[in-house]
């Protein structure tokens, strides 16, 4: 299955009341390179998509690309969460949430807290799906190290385990 079809299938599941948020994100899509959180989230997400599409052509012959590909996916999720948090913080004028870490679950919880504070529309089913994916990634790589390095800061080797997304 090609990545675009997979993405379109998942995008079709986005609740209608959340579509304005995604429309706003599309409007920020330009060729002008600016070092903003939205640009970096977009760039890593786009990089993952392009990388994954080409990787599927050679699958499973080049299984060594799993780690960098999954890292790009994880990092794009992290940046997207940080960007969304920034947007809500700006909207609310509330900059109390800490984002100087790599914890997907902590970032998700911060985003949900800000969304509720802003009275943003929520969809419990969609939120559960997002949280399930983030939990899955978190269980394998809680702090963004496992997909980037062969060992942790203490020198303990990471096990190269199966990653299923």
For residue 72, which of 100, 96, 49 has the smallest C-alpha distance?
Answer: 49
- pLDDT by residue (tens digit) across 49-97? 888 888 878 777 777 778 888 889 999 999 999 999 999 999 999 999 9
What pLDDT score does 99 carry? 93
* 7 within some domain: no
* 148 within some domain: no
Q: How far apart are CA 142 and CA 54, in angstroms?
A: 27
* 4 within some domain: no
Task: Write down the residue that tokens 């203490």 correspond to.
Answer: 154
For the chain, the domain total comes to 1
Extract the residue ranges of the chain whose pLDDT is less than 50: 30-32, 165
What pLDDT score does 39 carry? 87
This prediction's pTM: 0.74
What pLDDT score does 163 carry? 53
Angle at 36 between CA 116 and CA 107, to 5 degrees: 35
* 162 within some domain: no
Question: Which structural domain range is residue 37 located in?
Answer: 23-140
* 92 within some domain: yes
Residues whose CB falls within 8 Å of the CB of residue 49, separated by 6 or more in sequence, listed in order: 3, 4, 7
Residues whose CB falls within 8 Å of the CB of residue 75, separated by 6 or more in sequence, listed in order: 44, 144
């Amino acid at each position: 299955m090609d990545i675009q079809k997979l993405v379109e299938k998942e995008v079709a599941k986005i609740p209608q009341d959340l579509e304005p948020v995604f429309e706003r994100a599309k409007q920020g899509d330009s060729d002008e390179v600016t070092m903003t959180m939205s640009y970096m989230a977009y760039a890593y997400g786009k990089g993952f998509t392009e990388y994954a599409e080409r990787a599927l052509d050679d699958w499973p012959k080049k299984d060594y690309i799993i780690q960098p590909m999954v890292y790009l996916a994880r990092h794009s999720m992290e940046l997207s969460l940080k960007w969304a948090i920034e947007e809500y913080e700006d909207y609310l004028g509330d900059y109390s949430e800490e984002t100087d870490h790599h914890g997907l679950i902590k970032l998700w919880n911060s985003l949900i807290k800000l969304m509720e504070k802003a009275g943003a529309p929520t969809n419990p089913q969609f939120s559960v799906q997002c949280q399930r994916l983030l939990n899955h990634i978190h269980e394998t790589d809680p702090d963004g190290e496992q997909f980037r390095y062969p060992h942790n800061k203490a020198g303990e080797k990471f096990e190269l385990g199966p990653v299923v997304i």
